[in-house]
Amino acid sequence: MSNNGTKIELPASIVIRDLAQIIEKSPIDLIKKLMTNGVMATINQTVDFDTAAIVVAEYGFEAVAEIVEEEVKEEVGEVPLWRQMIAGEDKSQLKARPPVVTILGHVDHGKTSLLDAIRSTDVAAGEAGGITQHIGAYQVEMKGRLISFLDTPGHAAFTQMRARGAQGADIVILVVAADDGVMPQTREAIAHAKAARVPIVVALNKVDKPNANPDRVKQQLAEMELVPDDWGGNTMVVPVSAKLKKGIDDLLEGVLLVADSNDIKANPAGKVIGTVIEAELDKSKGVLATLLVQNGTLEAGDVVVAGTAYGKLRAINDFKGKPIKKAGPSTPVAVMGLSDVPSAGDLFEVVKSEKEARVIVTERLDALKVQAQSRKKVSLEDLFANVQAGEAKELNLIVKADVQGSLDPIVTELNKLGEGEIGLNILHAETGNIGNNDVMLASASKAIIIGFNVQADVDARRMAEKEGVDIRLYEIIYRMTEDIEKALNGMLEPKLVEKVLGKAQVLQVFSASKFGKVAGCKVTDGELRRGAKVRLYRSSDIIYEGDLSSLRHEKDDVKEIRQGYECGVGFKSFNNIEPGDTLVCYIVE
């Protein structure tokens, strides 16, 4: 054959029309070839690679699969700013600092229990008569060395930190229950840690349970490229029981070992920077913020800028609530004196004066305004447009309700609504007010927050405004479902219905200089209309689909022509017409 073995690249699937173009054959010819191979397809239909390969082989081509660049699956986050800043410090000034650890894992695998167990084994905390104030972070001592724990377990906090590009942890303790194994949130946690380039120590929890199966968990971990050290890999897997407080020391020693091999350093005399762990507005005390110092030494009286908040620190307390004068790298502290509530995950820095702080904050606020204007809002109202623009196929929701008793029916109702063409995806459903975490999660996942009989916290509302997150509060369930339903209906792509106007038979084919070939037809049914759509059949096969671009009766251009009349029909850039073809004229509504 003429194309003897010429290689052509074809994608996994291709429309007949495009395939015809590639091999420079007429689509009709191609359709016929397909038919002889037992494949019925019209010009606008798609065939898969294998089918395309067979048919192009008949023309002497050899089909080869188009190489599509593989998607990079593993997301690698940016190096957090504070790490970059430490990297920029004078190497000779760098000193070892306590590792900062965060605990992640699937729900009910024992994160909270483990945090409590770790805290209670610490002598120093015990001596102080227990923790007086919960500030979202604490430190424990192990063999004379400190370890800082971020006491904000769960994904929202972690996502939030990452979303801010300021992931503050040096090490992740991944809690996996020995009786349950690797679960979806375990996988997510691994992905998060990998993206943030943070090493993982596995706490194989609940080993006290009779149905604990450590080997199975190790197998699962190995499958996720976390090969346990006792299997020759380099992931520490430490069996623990948070409930019986067993194995905690081993776990902490493991953390220190990982810390030692990861060069965890900072310059205590360098520029003071760190991350906001949490912050809230206290009615009597003003803004209370927990800060994690990451470089330099924070001192009482310093002027701090945190996100778009600033202020002179009136007091610094350690995690036990004891006033301190100075806090070096990796120290969590509770501070007062900020003008505004910063967001968790915001980077903070010490500046020279309040004047300098104001300039920085003003600039940031201006930049945020510009950002907010350009950012696409995810609101219920906008969803339809997003769907039409092909930017959304489902509606992500975060649901908050006052009590579990109302949360359950809401979720059930919403799930029912999501059974249609546009899916409803409930990312998170929980009781309680709408907080910053919810907003961050919504922002990161383009979700809408639905609140039922709850309020949005002041700073959550502010952040929602900043991030362009839609918060909708309801007090009556059907009002809520009604709204969602409306949005979903609006979101549905308009259903296109074909309405046949008429049919005609091709009696003769003429050549007309203007249109190329013109079909001399007789209308057998209904009417033909200029500008409508037309489909040309040869026996039962569609050989052309397109616009009916010219319609003439005798020598006159006409808009339409009725049953029983004869007419001349021209198609845009299509000439392969034969007597005996049938023509169906239709419109799409």
Q: Does 108 bind ligand GDP (CB under 6 A)?
A: yes
Contact status: 229 vs ligand GDP (CB under 6 A): no
> What distance in Å separates the CA atoms of residue 151 and residue 141, rounded to the nearest whole number?
16
From the list 434, 430, 426, 417, the residue with the least C-alpha distance to 473 is 434
> What is the helix (H) or strand (E) element at residue 460, kind and residue range?
helix 458-467
Complex with ligand GDP: residue 151 or 340, whichever CB lies closer: 151
Rank residues 175 and 469 by Cβ distance to ligand GDP and give the closer one: 175
How many chain residues are in contact with ligand GDP, going by CB under 6 A? 16
Nearest to 153 by CA among 102, 206, 189: 102
The residue range among 21-29, 204-212, 470-478, 516-524 that interacts with ligand GDP, by the rule CB under 6 A, is 204-212
Q: What's the min distance (Å) between Cβ of 177 and ligand GDP?
A: 7
Nearest CB to ligand GDP, comparing residues 55 and 104: 104
Compute the least distance from the CB of residue 115 to ligand GDP, in Å. Answer: 8
Say if CB 114 and CB 241 are below 8 A apart.
no
Of residues 152 and 235, the one with the C-beta less far from ligand GDP: 152
DSSP output for 519-543: EEEEEEEEEEETTSEEEEEETTEEE
Map residue 475 onto helix, strand or coil.
Answer: coil
Single out the segment in contact with ligand GDP by CB under 6 A; choices: 100-108, 266-274, 331-339, 555-563: 100-108
Beta strands 533-538 and 582-588 are antiparallel
328 CB-near residues (< 8 Å, 6+ apart): 97, 268, 293, 297
Measured from the CB atom, the residue of 187 and 416 that comes closer to ligand GDP is 187
Our finding on whether 205 is near ligand GDP (CB under 6 A) is yes
Pick out residues in 127-156 that bind ligand GDP (CB under 6 A).
Answer: 153
Binding mask 239-278 for ligand GDP (x = CB under 6 A): --xxx-----------------------------------
Compute the least distance from the CB of residue 240 to ligand GDP, in Å.
7
Between 148 and 152, name the residue whose CB sits nearer to ligand GDP: 152
Q: Does 109 bind ligand GDP (CB under 6 A)?
A: yes
> Shortest Cβ distance from residue 425 to ligand GDP (Å)?
22
Q: Which stretch binds ligand GDP (CB under 6 A): 203-211, 299-307, 323-331, 362-370?
A: 203-211
Task: Give the shortest CB-143-to-ligand GDP separation in angstroms.
Answer: 23
Report which of 561, 559, 587, 583 is spatially closest to residue 571, judged by C-alpha positions. 583
Does residue 111 bind ligand GDP (CB under 6 A)? Answer: yes
Q: Which neighbouring-strand residues pair with 472?
A: 450
**For residue 68, what are the CA distances in angstroms to 12, 83, 99, 113?**
10, 35, 42, 47
- Between 108 and 566, whose beta carbon lies closer to ligand GDP? 108
Q: For ligand GDP, which residue of 206, 320, 400, 466 counts as binding (CB under 6 A)?
A: 206
Both structure tokens of 523: 């209308």
Q: Which of 58, 208, 483, 485 binds ligand GDP (CB under 6 A)?
A: 208
CB atoms within 10 A of CB 2: 6
Give the Cα-Cα-Cα angle 168, 170, 172 (nearest 5 degrees).
100
Q: How many residues does the chain have?
A: 589
Tell me which DSSP letter residue 226 carries.
-
Q: What residues make contact with ligand GDP under the rule CB under 6 A?
A: 105, 107-113, 153, 205-206, 208-209, 241-243
